Structure 1
Amino acid sequence: MLIAVATRKGGVGKTTIATNLAAHRASQGHAVKFIDADTDEYGYMWGMLRRHKEVTPNILLAKMTGAIYSDLMAERDAHDTVIVDVGGKNSPELIYAVGACDVLVVPAEAGQFDVWSLTAMSTMIREMHASGKTFKVIPVMNKISSDDRSTLTANLETEFEKLEEVFGLKPHKIVKRNAFSWAAAEGRGVTEMKRSRDTEKAQDELLELYGRVFA
């Protein structure tokens, strides 16, 4: 099974989502390979930090760029779960990862640039489905401000509604919480942190997303 976390805009929390899905999937006893297809390599750095801190369970790591479709398909066949973190631009890696995936997680923040990005992703998804490539799409309204609901702009809601019309999926919502940053600094996922008043909401939001991805 190959899960791609991808969109055409950077800074929307793709790596946070990808690393947290990988960590929780591994904690459930699955063999996980994490592939960083972003030239910034932050996901790979997280994985190396995890190794340095000897966090278990182990997650296999790789970096891939360029014409990666065949390599992704080979990894998909070789491993229980492959999670691909794709850079935020309209790149060959984005096209190949979407073409190879079983599940596509599409994060967006509330903002006009994200609206344009989501519109472009919607077009790509429709074209890929029309060409015969089938995969589940999970839109994520990410990094929501917990104290300012006005950041959920009407334009972004409209774009998510378009995705819902096509795929029948409401966006999953994740609030911007410090617990995600604390976990990353330890090479962990948020569900690997001790459950407390400071972590429980982030953990619950991640677990709900995990359930939708692996349903």
Structure 2
Amino acid sequence: MIILIGSNKGGSGKTTIACNLAVALAKNGNDVCLVDADRQGSAAKWHQEREAGEITPSITLVQKYDNLTKTMQSLDDKFSHIIVDVAGRNSREMITAATVADMIIAPHQCSQLDLDTLGELQEQIIRVMDLNPDLKVFIYQTMASTNVQVIENERQDFKAYVAEFPEFKALQSSGRYRKIYRDVMSDGLSVLETSNKQAIDEVTALYGEIFSHG
């Protein structure tokens, strides 16, 4: 299964989600490959720290740019799951990976700047689906508020906006704005390898929901 973590908005937590999902898959006994297709190389840096710390389970990482189609097809023959992390923009890497992906997870904050990019993403997905009609696209609310007074309204606003786009489905799970997500990345870790129950529950919920659709 090829899962593309991508959107047209930077700063939405794509690399964090990709790395946490890769660890979740590995911890559940899956043979997973993490593909860093963002020239900033954040996933590769995370992986380097993980390797240096000899942290298990180990994750296979591949760096690849430009046209990803043949690389994705080749990796799909070798690994049960491929997680692809692309840059936060309309990139060649995102489009070519989408043509062979089983699923796109598009992280967005509940902000107008983030949600305004869904129209552009919709146009891309319509064209990609001419080549990959079975592609599933899920919108994941990321960096959601932890303020109990605004959580429900923010969530309803997010779901209502996503519902305007028939090509997309809003995931029920969401990730909140927690410092732990940033802290563990520099150590090559996932929040699943910490004692932070709230963050663990968020990643576990995302993992469970994604693979119930798989």
**What's the TM-score once normalised by structure 1's chain length?**
0.89
2:119 is equivalent to residue 119 of structure 1: yes
AA at the equivalent of 1:159:
Y
Matches of residues 20-99 of structure 1 in structure 2 within 5 Å?
20-99=20-99
Give the structure 1 partner of residue 174 of structure 2. Answer: 173
Distance 1:132 1:19 in 2: 25
Secondary structure in structure 2 of the residue aligned to 1:4 = strand
2:214 is equivalent to residue 212 of structure 1: no
Q: Structure 1 residues 168, 184: CA separation in 2 closer, same or farther (over 3 Å shift)?
A: closer
Give the structure 1 partner of residue 138 of structure 2. Answer: 138
Following superposition, the deviation at residue 201 of structure 1 comes to: 1.1
Deviations 1:22-41 (A, max 9, x none): 01111111111111000111
Deviations 1:130-153 (A, max 9, x none): 444312222101001212627838
Following superposition, the deviation at residue 113 of structure 1 comes to: 1.8
Give the structure 2 partner of residue 161 of structure 1. Answer: 163
Give the structure 2 partner of residue 105 of structure 1. Answer: 105
Higher helix share: 1
Following superposition, the deviation at residue 179 of structure 1 comes to: 2.1
Secondary structure in structure 1 of the residue aligned to 2:116 = helix
Contact 1:39 1:87 in 2 (8 A): yes
Give the structure 2 partner of residue 12 of structure 1. Answer: 12
Q: Structure 1 residues 153, 211: CA separation in 2 closer, same or farther (over 3 Å shift)?
A: closer
Query: Percent of aligned pairs with the same residue?
Result: 28
Deviations 1:46-84 (A, max 9, x none): 011100011001111111111121111111122111110
Contact 2:139 2:169 in 1 (8 A): no
Contact 2:174 2:202 in 1 (8 A): yes
Q: Structure 1 residues 61, 162: CA separation in 2 closer, same or farther (over 3 Å shift)?
A: same
Distance 1:109 1:169 in 2: 12
Distance 1:170 1:143 in 2: 14
Match for residue 203 of structure 1 among 196, 200, 204: 200
Following superposition, the deviation at residue 11 of structure 1 comes to: 0.4
Distance 1:171 1:139 in 2: 9
Deviations 1:137-180 (A, max 9, x none): 221010012126278388754431124x4455545321111221
AA at the equivalent of 1:212:
E
Q: Structure 1 residues 123, 149: CA separation in 2 closer, same or farther (over 3 Å shift)?
A: farther
Q: Structure 1 residues 210, 36: CA separation in 2 closer, same or farther (over 3 Å shift)?
A: same
Distance 2:168 2:139 in 1: 10
**What's the TM-score once normalised by structure 2's chain length?**
0.89
Following superposition, the deviation at residue 110 of structure 1 comes to: 1.9
Q: Structure 1 residues 182, 91: CA separation in 2 closer, same or farther (over 3 Å shift)?
A: same
Deviations 1:91-143 (A, max 9, x none): 10010111121111010012222122122112222332344431222210100
Distance 2:92 2:14 in 1: 17
Q: Aligned-residue CA RMSD in angstroms?
A: 2.1
